[in-house]
A and B are shown apart, each in its own frame.
Chain A
Amino acid sequence: DGGITQSPKYLFRKEGQNVTLSCEQNLNHDAMYWYRQDPGQGLRLIYYSQIVNDFQKGDIAEGYSVSREKKESFPLTVTSAQKNPTAFYLCASSFTNRDNEQFFGPGTRLTVL
């Protein structure tokens, strides 16, 4: 089945630790995105990538880092510099053709202990 997978589903982090969230897609999409969702707020864009080895900052990139070494994979690292990382993180992908829709993974819930 084609789709987007995210792992883990739940993640707990101690203060001062870096953690990496995984996102993989087998839809042959060129573009991949990371969003953060907080209660009562819309999705906010962290980073996006439209091609391998290239990515752009979104509205809330501070304290996060990404890499795009393979078309299928777009991991997100939440660094210790992110002051309030507890949130629901969603990965998405789409074709870069602007007529196409965006598809989402099931999400990772990160909690800082």
Chain B
Amino acid sequence: KQEVTQIPAALSVPEGENLVLNCSFTDSAIYNLQWFRQDPGKGLTSLLLIQSSQREQTSGRLNASLDKSSGRSTLYIAASQPGDSATYLCAVRQRTGNQFYFGTGTSLTVIP
């Protein structure tokens, strides 16, 4: 069964710093990988979607990479802002069964 891991579980950085969040998965038979943001008590907001054939995707200050063969993805946030404080989750869409599997998330705090 697919296992998705996110490290670290929590991260605190000063405003303006660049940072990297990590996501690893055990089964490389995926269609795509999606990064989400979740604010406390809210639903998930989609940030970036990377297809299995792609290496990276960019949206504004966010850049996500995918190395399917090694089972890893990173989310790079440039010039962090206090408004970036949230929990970030990654999810893979599995080829077998067409289900999504989620990591437990990284809680990010950006200190003004």
B104 is contacted by which of A42, A45, A96 (Cβ under 8 Å)?
A42
Question: Complex: how many Å from CA A107 to CA B9?
Answer: 22
Distance of A101 from chain B, by nearest CB (Å): 4
Residues of B within 8 A of A (CB): 4, 31-32, 34, 36, 41-46, 49, 51, 89, 91, 93, 95, 98-105
A-side contacts of B95, CB under 8 Å: 98
Which residues in chain A, 81-105, are within 8 Å of chain B measured between CB atoms?
Answer: 88, 90, 92, 96, 98-99, 101-105
B34 is contacted by which of A40, A41, A102 (Cβ under 8 Å)?
A102
Which residues in chain A, 25-63, are within 8 Å of chain B measured between CB atoms?
Answer: 33, 35, 40-43, 45, 48, 50, 58
Question: Complex: how many Å from CA A41 to CA B4?
Answer: 11
Cross-chain contact B43 with A106 (CB below 8 angstroms) = yes
Question: Complex: how many Å from CA A6 to CA B43?
Answer: 10
Cross-chain contact B98 with A42 (CB below 8 angstroms) = no
Question: Complex: how many Å from CA A61 to CA B89?
Answer: 23
Distance of A26 from chain B, by nearest CB (Å): 16
A103 is contacted by which of B41, B46, B98 (Cβ under 8 Å)?
B46
Cross-chain contact A104 with B100 (CB below 8 angstroms) = no
Cross-chain contact B100 with A33 (CB below 8 angstroms) = yes
A99 is contacted by which of B4, B44, B51, B100 (Cβ under 8 Å)?
B51
B99 is contacted by which of A48, A96, A103, A104 (Cβ under 8 Å)?
A48
Cross-chain contact B43 with A107 (CB below 8 angstroms) = yes
From A42, A96, A106, residue with most partner B Cβ within 10 Å: A42
B-side contacts of A96, CB under 8 Å: 98
A-B contact pairs, 17 of them (CB 8 A): A42-B101, A43-B89, A43-B91, A43-B102, A45-B100, A48-B99, A50-B98, A90-B44, A98-B31, A101-B49, A102-B34, A102-B46, A105-B43, A107-B41, A107-B42, A107-B43, A109-B41
Give the residue name and chain of the A residue nearest to B99 (CB): A45
A-side contacts of B46, CB under 8 Å: 101-104
4 nearest A-B pairs in the assembled complex, by CB-CB distance: A42-B102, A104-B43, A98-B31, A104-B44
B-side contacts of A48, CB under 8 Å: 99
